[in-house]
Each structure stands twice: as C-alpha cells, then as structure tokens.
Copies of this chain bind each other. A is one copy, B any other.
Amino acid sequence: MNKLCPDLVAAVADIPDGATVMIGGFGGSGAPVELLHALIDRFRATGHPARLTIVNNNAGNGGIGIAAMIRAGMVAKVICSFPRSSNAEAFNEKYLAGEIELELVPQGTLAERIRAAGAGIPAFYTPTSYGTELAEGKPAEEFDGRMYVRERWLKADFALIKGQQGDTVGNLTYRMAARNFNPLMAMAADRTIAQVSRLGEPGCIDPQQVITPGIFVDTIVEVPEPQQEEVLVRMGVVY
C-alpha cells in the first residue's frame, strides 16, 4: 500500500522492451525529466528498454527528455499531436529517415482517447477530424444531423508523470499548467510511476484539492528540485 519508491533507478526498472509508455507534459511543462533520464541511463547500461512506443503531446525538444530517448535509439514509435517544436531535430531526423513511426492524433482526441482508456470507454464519437485525412479508415456516423468520427481508447503499459505535492498513497497535485496530460495518463496506464517535488504522509493534501486520487498511482518517487524541460532546452543541455 505504501507506493513509495526509494530512487529513480528502481522506479523505472520494470519497463520492458516494446512497452507503450505515456509521458506527461506539454511542451516543457509537466515533463518528468528525471524519470526519463533514469530510463535512458538504464538503456545505455543494459540495452533495455528498447523499441518503446511513446505517447506525449509532442515528440521531444532539444537534447533532453523524449528527444534524448529518441536520439539514444530506444523509441520505435511516437503517438502525439504536434511533433514540431523549436528544437525538434531528434525526432525530425529519425522520422525523415524512416527510422521512427508516427501516429498523429488531434490534441483533443488524444486527450479524450487517453481519458476513455482510464474510464473504461472503449470508443466514442467526436466531430474532430471528420472529413480529413486523419479520419481515414475510421467509422463515421451522423448524430442529430452532424457527422462524427469514432475513436478508440488509448491505453498504455506504463505512465511516467510529474506531480507537485504527493503522498505515500499516491494522491497528487500539479503545479499550474504542468497539469495538462498528467492526470489523464495516470488513469490510462497499467502502471503509473509519478515523480513529485514534495512527498508527504497521507493527509498532507486537503482531500478536496487532490487532482489525481491515489488509486491511479502505483509508484511514487520524490525528486525535490526537478529540472524544467524548457529551461534545459534553452540552456542547450544535451543528456
């Protein structure tokens, strides 16, 4: 019941080759940089986990985080809405060389597919992408005189997320717009691993202010002064 994990190495030790891994964050806000770097360390030391499918809004930026995972060669596929960014060379090079697969999903559909997975909804209808190439091959149907596309849930084996305040039973809060995809991914993965800036005992978060209830979190590791992806990218850091 105590979900506390002593260190980053142990937190990511169970992710196998070929896993689908959701990674929280939008741009540089809410990205679990330390968890990702621990995963890269493991890959460099052992060659595992390889051939990962990554789910994130973006496809990495600069030389750290997801971009560093891609460059390290551990990512086979990216499911995202917006692979473009200010420094997206890591993804771009692999993509244009045909070395990485891309599943492009409209941002709201991506969010809703992840939420649907967490909520036990295998499929839903959305007006988004109807009539566009991103709807090709998907069932379409009319409701109340308007056309909609049917989308499937999107599940993952693991979610790596970043919270602000956490407790040992897995309750989480998020800092400002760093919330983004994190609470949704926590619901949609078989195992959710959260890094938090502050860890406390149960009761340290007002029950009315919990954003992610602990039932959605399996492993929690404290990273007291987390790095901010945007800051690292601007400093030109390469991991």
Binding site for B on A (CB under 8 A): 112, 116, 119-127, 141, 143-144, 146, 148, 152, 173-176, 179, 207-209
18 sampled A-B residue pairs with Cβ under 8 A: A112-B119, A116-B124, A120-B127, A121-B124, A122-B125, A122-B144, A122-B146, A123-B124, A123-B125, A123-B148, A124-B125, A143-B152, A173-B208, A174-B208, A175-B208, A176-B207, A208-B209, A209-B209
Do A120 and B124 touch across chains, with their CB atoms under 8 A apart?
no
Do B122 and A112 touch across chains, with their CB atoms under 8 A apart?
no
Cβ-closest 3 pairs across A and B: A122-B143, A124-B124, A123-B125
Min CB–CB distance A167 → chain B (angstroms): 17
- Interface core residue of A112, A124, A143, A173 (most chain B CB under 10 Å): A124
**Which residues in B have their C-beta under 8 angstroms from that of A144?**
122
Min CB–CB distance A49 → chain B (angstroms): 24
Do A176 and B208 touch across chains, with their CB atoms under 8 A apart?
yes
Min CB–CB distance A125 → chain B (angstroms): 5
How distant is the Cα of A154 from the Cα of B156 in the complex, in angstroms?
A: 30
How distant is the Cα of A199 from the Cα of B46 in the complex, in angstroms?
A: 58
How distant is the Cα of A207 from the Cα of B120 in the complex, in angstroms?
A: 29
Do A143 and B123 touch across chains, with their CB atoms under 8 A apart?
yes
**Which residues in B have their C-beta under 8 angstroms from that of A176?**
207-208
Beta-carbon nearest neighbor of A173 in chain B = B208
**Which residues in B have their C-beta under 8 angstroms from that of A124?**
116, 121, 123-125
Beta-carbon nearest neighbor of A122 in chain B = B143
**Which residues in B have their C-beta under 8 angstroms from that of A146?**
122
**Which residues in B have their C-beta under 8 angstroms from that of A175?**
208
